Amino acid sequence: MDILSLVTYAMISSFTPGPNNIISMTRAREHGFRSTFPYIRGVAAGCLLIMMLSSYFNLALYQYIPAITPFLNVFGCIYMLYLAFKIMRSTSSKSEPEHNSKKTRYSFWFGFSLQLINPKVILYALTALSVFVLPHAQSHHQLLGYSLLLTLIGISANLTWALGGRLFQRFLLKYERPFNIVMGLLLIWTAVSLIT
């Protein structure tokens, strides 16, 4: 298995702006780093559930329809290219609506339930597991291990955004365009490695 491609894809998908990261950053900036812990624990639990469900969903497809694997690779490649171009063309995050922390409770259950409807996490799980993991690892222990690895990478992104808070937000706003271009190029490299 090309673990470098898996980790690169996971890091780019996890560390780029998304609902989890923006909520973590905003909450930490407004109420402190520790106030994000219940929410991030919920995100972790929801993310792990999505990873495990995706593992077994992909495994069922992989075992019963082996011919689908090349199509999953192509789908994963196309999805990563789409993400790369979307990231590189994204507009300023200043235009995104602020989350009103007084109205929203950042609880464990809020973080958990957000994962069940978050398309970024669901597609991240389906793509990473079907393209990088299942062609090389199919035992229950391996699926659990990779699900934990992908969840830990995702949660490290949430913690990084929360820890950075206002400082990380200022950096991103100042260097948002170059950051997005670099992330997009890394994602293109990862996508091309799938089909070469």
Q: Convert the pLDDT of each residue in 52-77 to its tens digit.
A: 999 888 888 766 655 666 776 787 77
Domain limits, the chain: 3-195
Mean pLDDT of the chain: 80
pLDDT-derived band at 169, boundaries 50, 70, 90? low
Q: Examine the pLDDT at 170 and tell me if it is beyond 90.
A: no
Token pair recorded at residue 101: 């922390």
Predicted confidence (pLDDT) at residue 100 exceeds the cutoff of 50? no
pLDDT in tens, 143-164: 899 999 999 999 999 999 898 8
